[in-house]
Amino acid sequence: MSNRLPFSVSKTESFYEKLGDWIGDVFYDILPESGFEVRDEQIYMAFQLEKAFKEKKVMFAEAGVGTGKTIAYLLYAICYARYTNRPAIIACADETLIEQLVKKEGDIAKIEAALGLNMDVRLAKSRDSYLCLNKLEAVMAKDETEVFEDVFYDLPDFVHGKGSMQSFTHYGDRKDYAHLQDEQWNQIAWDSVQDCFSCHQRHRCGQTLHRDYYRLSRDIIICSHDFYMEHVWTKESRKREGQLPLLPESSCVIFDEGHLLEYACQKALTYRFTEQTLEKLLTRIMANDVREKTLNLIEDGIYESEAFFNLLESVSLSTLGSEKRKVEKTNQVLNSAKNLLTILQAVEEELVFESELYVINEYDLKVVEEYLEQITYSLSLFVKSNQGITWFETHSGERTLVIMPKLVEDIMRKEVFSQEKPYIFSSATLSDNQSFNYIASSLGIDDYLHFSVESPFDYEENMKVSLETFNTGQSEEKLRYVRESILKSEGRALILLSNQDEMQSLKTYLQDVPFPIYFEGDAEISTLVSHFQNEENSILCSIHLWEGLDIPGRSLENVIIYSLPYPPLDPVFEAKREGAENSFEEVDIPYMLLRLRQGIGRLIRSHEDKGIVHILLDKETNDNVISKINSILPNQKKAEGKAR
Ligand code: SF4
């Protein structure tokens, strides 16, 4: 039994009984004595969670805003990790939220102080959160901007070839370069074109060193849903290639904002078919002493692939606010895909014969076979209607066809939820009409526990909601309204936006407001959030912080929803719309209401919080939509507002 547990358990005692006693002590004595506002709803949640850990089951923990979900699940996560000697994984909805849990004002720091615990919490961020040495060198060769030179010369000594192996430490996290704008950061951060596996700088690269660091966490690893799903999906292939899985074996997994997991699963199960990669791999095979028949087939494959990508490029259409180009599956495109599929399947068969002749390097052969298997599977989804969601992307001349499966339940059942392990879904919005069947079946979860608790806050008393109507688009009156509203609340405002165009207009219009104003993208996000939290009169404008942002106190008394958060017109949502009878009612409205509820939920974060939520509507918004918005408002007094 681990002696790192915050309570003692002898060999004859039950861990779960002692855990239950400790949880009782924490909520009834220790936290109130340390000045915590403990809520009945939170205590109820804490005792419910015990079942999931004891029975090693999935649990849907639906708890309203302000229940104190994080503290409740953290206590179990830490004890269970120490009991089993394996770290707990906490997967947050979005990469931007990872730092929120570990910030100095966050829940982890608070319970560490209150309980005298020293928790080993490490962050596993996505690859693009790390500096790529190759890209930094490339950008410095063509751009002598000081900002990149400073990054280069501030790298640890061992990166420049000085110092010993012992001095290798993790470095190169986006957070360490908080002053860089996203645009500058993207020039030096890892991107999907980088081939880390064969990179000569790998052993001294910050990304590799970070991975080695977080893997050794003894208590908790925090990552995003996307990263967790990438781990699940790449685990086996990484092992085959002699690499470690992205995450170590865990004791339990907590999906914070768990209602968003399905999309992360789809994204992770996405196949990316890149023209250049196929050509590079096939050319590598041609360099071996292969038979003429194989050579001819490979040449046909390269030729047909180029023709296929030319066609895709000519028929694909750009989509507003997204880099995903919509693909028209014309007969010509489908025929070309079928031809390519037939040729690549024939190449696969020939490679089986080649492997028996031992003329190709075994490693090269394995890599090509795996890639071909992926491409032929994804192309077979592409040629069948209704099996996958597809789009086309081009980056720096590289052309990629992306294929995402529509349904993920089978694979999630097999790869994740068949394991006997506590999986906790925590969110304010998991059920639909008090049933958890929709989320359970879409994720392949057959057996689960669940509970729901309401928010403990007095919204009637503390929250005002104002619905305001403006001319469609970014009208002058709308901008003026925002300005007046933040002057009235003396800053203290979070402005939630739906796209970059809105951000640009506000940047121009709010230039001279007499309060500090921060825009997402102008610096590293958790640094901006920290400024917003600690400078009481400041303003934060964000596209991504509709969920998870927790700023209690006077820094946030005014939430401005600049436009209704409808889903983008990209191919993922287009596919969902295509599958619906009434796409506006079944896809757009539920998505918008869910996000709106989350956005409104940013305002009241403690019993003392008070404030106003402004929801800015277009003149065209119909009465049906307005009544739906009214129905999800936490204060059921009718919202005030007027048309302009
Ligand atoms: S290992 Fe990957 S991220 Fe690191 S320098 Fe090489 S290509 Fe860039």
Are 352 and 438 in the same domain?
Answer: no
Atom of ligand 1 nearest to the CA of 205: 4
Atom of ligand 1 nearest to the CA of 202: 1
Higher-scoring residue by pLDDT: 253, 383: 253
Atom of ligand 1 nearest to the CA of 195: 7
DSSP character at residue 258: G
Ligand 1: centre distance to CA 209 (Å): 11
Q: How many Cβ atoms sit within 10 Å of the Cβ of residue 402?
A: 22
Pick from 384, 405, 426: which residue ends a domain?
Answer: 405
Distance CA 379, CA 558 (A): 49
Range scoring the smallest mean pLDDT among 200-204, 223-227, 512-516, 637-641? 637-641
Domain that holds residue 158: 125-213
Ligand 1: centre distance to CA 401 (Å): 24
Distance CA 182, CA 525 (A): 9
Sheet of strand 317-319: strand arrangement: 271-274, 398-405, 388-395, 322-326, 317-319
| Residues 383 and 341: beta-carbon distance below 8 Å | yes
Listed in sequence order, the residues at least 6 apart from 449 whose beta carbon sits closer than 8 Å to its beta carbon are 48, 51, 52, 55, 57, 58, 59, 60
Ligand 1: centre distance to CA 150 (Å): 19
* Residue to probe by mutation, ligand 1, list 207, 210, 243, most atoms within 8 Å of CB: 207
- Confirm whether 255 is domain-assigned: yes
For ligand 1, which residues put their CB under 6 angstroms from it? 132-134, 190, 194, 196, 199, 201-202, 205, 207-208
pLDDT score recorded for residue 163: 61
Are 130 and 115 in the same domain?
Answer: no
- Confirm whether 639 is domain-assigned: no
> The pTM is what?
0.77
CA 194 to chain centre: 21
Atom of ligand 1 nearest to the CA of 130: 3
Atom of ligand 1 nearest to the CA of 190: 3
- Confirm whether 641 is domain-assigned: no
* Residue to probe by mutation, ligand 1, list 205, 208, 209, 212, most atoms within 8 Å of CB: 205
* Residue to probe by mutation, ligand 1, list 126, 128, 130, 133, most atoms within 8 Å of CB: 133
Ligand 1: centre distance to CA 100 (Å): 27
Are 25 and 115 in the same domain?
Answer: yes
Ligand 1: centre distance to CA 199 (Å): 6
Over the stretch 72-112, which tens digit does the pLDDT of each residue have? 999 999 999 999 999 999 999 888 778 878 888 788 999 99
Range scoring the smallest mean pLDDT among 111-125, 250-264, 275-289, 482-496? 275-289
Dihedral angle sign, alpha carbons of residues 103, 107, 110, 111: negative
% of the chain at pLDDT higher than 70: 95
Ligand 1: centre distance to CA 131 (Å): 8
Task: Count up the domains in the chain and report the number.
Answer: 4
- Confidence at 635, pLDDT banded by 50, 70, 90: confident
Ligand 1: centre distance to CA 538 (Å): 38
Distance CA 521, CA 181 (A): 6
Question: Between helices 225-240 and 261-268, what is the axis angle to 10°?
Answer: 30
* Residue to probe by mutation, ligand 1, list 190, 193, 208, 212, most atoms within 8 Å of CB: 190
Are 29 and 114 in the same domain?
Answer: yes
DSSP for 127-151 reads GGGBB-HHHHHHHHHH---HHHHHH
Q: CATH number of the domain that 380 lies in? A: 1.20.1440
| Residues 234 and 211: beta-carbon distance below 8 Å | no
Residue nearest atom 2 of ligand 1, based on CA coordinates: 196
- Confidence at 166, pLDDT banded by 50, 70, 90: low
Higher-scoring residue by pLDDT: 1, 327: 327
The pair of three-digit structure tokens given for residue 421, joined into one six-digit string: 């392990």
pLDDT score recorded for residue 386: 65
What are phi and psi for residue 426, nearest 5 degrees? Answer: -115, 130
Average pLDDT of span 592-610: 90
Are 66 and 102 in the same domain?
Answer: yes
- Confirm whether 640 is domain-assigned: no
* Residue to probe by mutation, ligand 1, list 131, 132, 140, most atoms within 8 Å of CB: 132
Ligand 1: centre distance to CA 306 (Å): 28
Are 401 and 414 in the same domain?
Answer: no
Closest CA to 56 of 412, 418, 440: 418
Atom of ligand 1 nearest to the CA of 127: 3
Dihedral angle sign, alpha carbons of residues 193, 196, 197, 199: positive
- Confirm whether 483 is domain-assigned: yes
- Confirm whether 555 is domain-assigned: yes
- Confirm whether 638 is domain-assigned: no
Q: How many Cβ atoms sit within 10 Å of the Cβ of residue 511?
A: 8
% of the chain at pLDDT higher than 90: 50
What are phi and psi for residue 122, nearest 5 degrees? Answer: -130, 150
Are 95 and 24 in the same domain?
Answer: yes
Listed in sequence order, the residues at least 6 apart from 609 whose beta carbon sits closer than 8 Å to its beta carbon are 457, 462, 552, 553, 556, 557, 603
**Mean of per-residue pLDDT scores for the chain:** 88
Secondary structure of 305-318 in HEC code, one letter for each residue: HHHHHHHHHHHCEE
What are phi and psi for residue 381, nearest 5 degrees? Answer: -70, -40
Q: Is 543 helix (H, G, I), strand (E, B) or coil?
A: coil
Are 25 and 172 in the same domain?
Answer: no
Are 81 and 227 in the same domain?
Answer: yes
pLDDT score recorded for residue 591: 84
Distance CA 155, CA 147 (A): 13
| Residues 208 and 202: beta-carbon distance below 8 Å | yes
pLDDT at 2 over 60: no
Query: In 171-229, at which residue ranges do the beta strands (DSSP E only) sit?
Result: 220-224
Q: How many Cβ atoms sit within 10 Å of the Cβ of residue 485?
A: 18
Residue nearest atom 3 of ligand 1, based on CA coordinates: 132
Q: How many Cβ atoms sit within 10 Å of the Cβ of residue 239?
A: 11
Ligand 1: centre distance to CA 189 (Å): 9
Residue nearest atom 8 of ligand 1, based on CA coordinates: 132
- Greatest mean pLDDT range, 78-87, 88-97, 522-531, 633-642: 78-87
Ligand 1: centre distance to CA 22 (Å): 46
CA 486 to chain centre: 30
Question: Checking DSSP bridges between strand 463-470 and strand 611-618, what pairing results, if any?
Answer: parallel
Taking phi over 0 as left and psi of -120 to 50 as alpha, with beta for the rest, 538 belongs to beta
Q: CATH number of the domain that 69 lies in? A: 3.40.50.300
Ligand 1: centre distance to CA 135 (Å): 8
Four-point Cα dihedral 229, 230, 231, 232, nearest 10? 50
Ligand 1: centre distance to CA 170 (Å): 14
Residue nearest atom 7 of ligand 1, based on CA coordinates: 196
| Residues 120 and 220: beta-carbon distance below 8 Å | yes
Q: Which amino acid is at 10?
A: S
Atom of ligand 1 nearest to the CA of 131: 3
Ligand 1: centre distance to CA 196 (Å): 5
Atom of ligand 1 nearest to the CA of 206: 4
Range scoring the smallest mean pLDDT among 129-143, 393-407, 491-505? 393-407
Average pLDDT of span 298-322: 88
Are 243 and 322 in the same domain?
Answer: no
pLDDT score recorded for residue 583: 86
Pick from 395, 425, 456: which residue ends a domain?
Answer: 456
Over the stretch 145-161, which tens digit does the pLDDT of each residue have? 788 888 998 998 888 87
Ligand 1: centre distance to CA 498 (Å): 33
Look at the block and give the residue holding tokens 């904002």: 257
Provide the b/e sequence for 429-458 (b: ≥16 CB within 10 Å).
Answer: bbbeeeebeebbeebbbeebbbbbbebbbe
Question: Checking DSSP bridges between strand 322-326 and strand 388-395, what pairing results, if any?
Answer: antiparallel
CA angle 377, 363, 393 (to 5 degrees): 40
Are 598 and 473 in the same domain?
Answer: yes
Are 383 and 493 in the same domain?
Answer: no
Atom of ligand 1 nearest to the CA of 200: 6
- Confirm whether 360 is domain-assigned: yes
Over the stretch 325-361, which tens digit does the pLDDT of each residue have? 888 889 999 999 999 999 999 999 999 888 888 778 7
Ligand 1: centre distance to CA 285 (Å): 25
